[in-house]
Structure 1
Amino acid sequence: MSSNLDRFKEDLTKLLRDAVKIEQSFMHEVYGEEYEAAVLKSCEGNEKAAKEHMDALPKFNASYQAWYSESLALMKQLLPDRVADFIRLYEKPKGRKDISFENYRIEDALQGLRITRYGHEIVADFKSALPHLKQQIAMVQALKGRFESSLYDIRQLVQADLLDSEIDTARELLKHKFMRASGAVAGVVLEKHLLEVSINHNIKASKKHPTIADLNDGLKNAGVIETAQWPFHQHLADIRNLCDHNKQKEPTAEQVGDLIDGVSKVTKTVF
């Protein structure tokens, strides 16, 4: 079974490969026929080869959105200090009143926003977002160095591997109808992960031995998870408590299955 480190490397390789096509697609959007002429020239006048290149380009809007989401998830795991910078290159600045070349973002380009002055002078348009896209791609490329640097801390990756193994154990227990044991193992995974996330964000626990509910409250209050995420974590905690403490009511296979799937999702999306 491949480790999380191997999976991250595979994900990064794919993102970098897709980034080349996405940047080329963006260039085509910006320069149109001029870009097509440049492609034809690079193909030494071979129209068939040039057409194959153009046909292979993805639609920028759809392909970028998927690439951005996947890149952001990997950035949160491997380079959390740069996440805010990565997002800032995409999102419109909060409180922005006037749009200029300096505060035009990729999100504006995706909406086809074009700002003119005096009816003809272009202030900012699709082309204005090109430097931001290039910076984002450079930041994703920088992730490669995280795998090669001797300073890279693999603690979180090792932790993720261990949690994956425990989730597999919970699934195997459920398969053999050991409902309570399965739910208990999944609950421990959730508790371990939320505690690890709290430590990573320097959130001090309110108790010496915090529960899932305590950790969940701390993460919400610190803005690490959104308010809408809080009840989902609490729902998982309720199923865990049913497996651990409530001896008068038996957990169902569906409840324990939901717990395992939910915990697996949380460990992959909450950092």
Structure 2
Amino acid sequence: MTSNVERFEDDLAKLIKKGNRLHDSMQNACYPAEFKTQYKKLLKDKVDDFIKDLPNFDTEYQRWYSEALALLRQILPDRVADFCRHYEKPKTRKEITFENYRIEDYLQGLTVTRGAHKDKVVGPEAAITQFRQQLAIVEAAQGRFESSLFDIRHMVQADLMDSELEAAEHLAKLKYSRAAGAIAGVVLERHLGEVCTNRQIAISKKNPTIADFNEALKAASVVDIAQWRYIQHLSDLRNICDHARTPDPTADQVTDLLGGVKKIIKTVY
């Protein structure tokens, strides 16, 4: 099943890909001969089909702009104003120059001329730079987007662990000591596995245990000897709760396990 993170990453990749196609469309519209010559070297006899399949910038840009703007508001809110600035005509603009020509002007097909001979001052090609800047902002969001999703995933993971520990504490109060300890052990094992993943620590075993994760974290100097021994102790308590043939864990043992798991989650990451 595809996770939300993967789906969001896929959507962003598609947005960037479409942006690159729109950029090609602008280049082709403004410099058709040069554009065809450039791509003919790469595509040979397929260049005409490539150009034919380019999106119509005038009709496709607004949708791309809306989707990109919605993304930036969530991921890079501090760049929204910059992104919009490359599209919107400056309100204080007194004359139109290459520097202040915007994508909005491009969509209106605006060309500025001067004098009786109508010498060209600025035209649609000036908007290529503006769109290139917009695309660069969206591309820059990719790293931040992944980072933000990573943070979201951690917050969800933390909330889930807190809920599971609350459930374990409730079971402990009802004297279901073995079940409470088993849940706490699962939370500890999952957390240590997550720490190894985040720190790119490889685990050779297919189904690693708390002890395996603990050894790997000690080898990578993520935990010191005291922490390693403490996690070992918690692993022993977890084993008492998990194995039916052992005597039932005592209330004190389960309390120690629950408190220890909470401590490790907050100190080993």
- Unaligned 5+ segments in structure 2 are 160-269
1:205-216 → structure 2 map (5 Å cutoff):
none
| SS in structure 1 of the partner of residue 48 of structure 2 | helix
- Unaligned 5+ segments in structure 1 are 163-271
Structure 1 residue 34, shift from structure 2 partner: 2.4
Letter in 1 for 2:31: Y
Q: Which residue of 2 aligns with 1:99?
A: 96
The alignment status of 1:10 with 2:7, answered yes or no, reads no
Query: Per the alignment, do residues 69 and 147 of structure 1 end up closer, same or farther by CA in structure 2, a change over 3 Å counting?
Result: closer
Query: Per the alignment, do residues 40 and 84 of structure 1 end up closer, same or farther by CA in structure 2, a change over 3 Å counting?
Result: same
Distance 1:23 1:34 in 2: 14
Letter in 1 for 2:51: M
Q: Greater helix share, 1 or 2?
A: 2
The alignment status of 1:113 with 2:102, answered yes or no, reads no
Determine if contact 1:28/1:36 at 8 Å carries over to the other structure.
yes
Distance 1:2 1:108 in 2: 41
Determine if contact 2:86/2:131 at 8 Å carries over to the other structure.
yes
Distance 1:106 1:156 in 2: 37
Deviation string, structure 1 residues 204-262 (Cα, Å, up to 9, x no partner): xxxxxxxxxxxxxxxxxxxxxxxxxxxxxxxxxxxxxxxxxxxxxxxxxxxxxxxxxxx
| SS in structure 2 of the partner of residue 112 of structure 1 | coil
Distance 2:6 2:43 in 1: 36
| SS in structure 1 of the partner of residue 113 of structure 2 | strand
Q: Which residue of 1 aligns with 2:123?
A: 125
The alignment status of 1:75 with 2:89, answered yes or no, reads no
Specify which of 38, 60, 64 is matched with residue 61 of structure 2: 64
Structure 1 residue 149, shift from structure 2 partner: 4.1
Query: Per the alignment, do residues 158 and 65 of structure 1 end up closer, same or farther by CA in structure 2, a change over 3 Å counting?
Result: farther
RMSD: 2.5
Q: Which residue of 1 aligns with 2:136?
A: 138
Structure 1 residue 143, shift from structure 2 partner: 1.1
Structure 1 residue 15, shift from structure 2 partner: 0.4
Query: Per the alignment, do residues 148 and 155 of structure 1 end up closer, same or farther by CA in structure 2, a change over 3 Å counting?
Result: closer
Aligned length, in residue pairs: 156
1:43-62 → structure 2 map (5 Å cutoff):
43-44=43-44, 46=45, 49-62=46-59
Distance 1:101 1:147 in 2: 32
Structure 1 residue 101, shift from structure 2 partner: 1.2
Query: Per the alignment, do residues 28 and 67 of structure 1 end up closer, same or farther by CA in structure 2, a change over 3 Å counting?
Result: same
Specify which of 82, 86, 95 is matched with residue 83 of structure 2: 86
Determine if contact 2:89/2:104 at 8 Å carries over to the other structure.
yes
Q: Which has the larger radius of gyration?
A: 2
Structure 1 residue 59, shift from structure 2 partner: 0.7
Structure 1 residue 72, shift from structure 2 partner: 0.6
Question: Kindly, what percent of the aligned residue pairs are identical?
Answer: 45
Q: Which residue of 2 aligns with 1:36?
A: 36
Query: Per the alignment, do residues 85 and 138 of structure 1 end up closer, same or farther by CA in structure 2, a change over 3 Å counting?
Result: same
| SS in structure 2 of the partner of residue 43 of structure 1 | helix
Off by >6 Å, runs of 4+ in structure 1: 156-159
Q: Which residue of 2 aligns with 1:191?
A: none
Structure 1 residue 120, shift from structure 2 partner: 2.8
Structure 1 residue 40, shift from structure 2 partner: 2.0
1:145-224 → structure 2 map (5 Å cutoff):
145-149=143-147, 154-155=151-152
Distance 1:128 1:135 in 2: 12
Query: Per the alignment, do residues 158 and 3 of structure 1 end up closer, same or farther by CA in structure 2, a change over 3 Å counting?
Result: farther
| SS in structure 1 of the partner of residue 89 of structure 2 | coil
Distance 1:33 1:131 in 2: 19
Determine if contact 1:91/1:105 at 8 Å carries over to the other structure.
yes
Distance 1:68 1:30 in 2: 20
Distance 1:52 1:14 in 2: 21
Structure 1 residue 133, shift from structure 2 partner: 0.8
Distance 1:10 1:21 in 2: 17
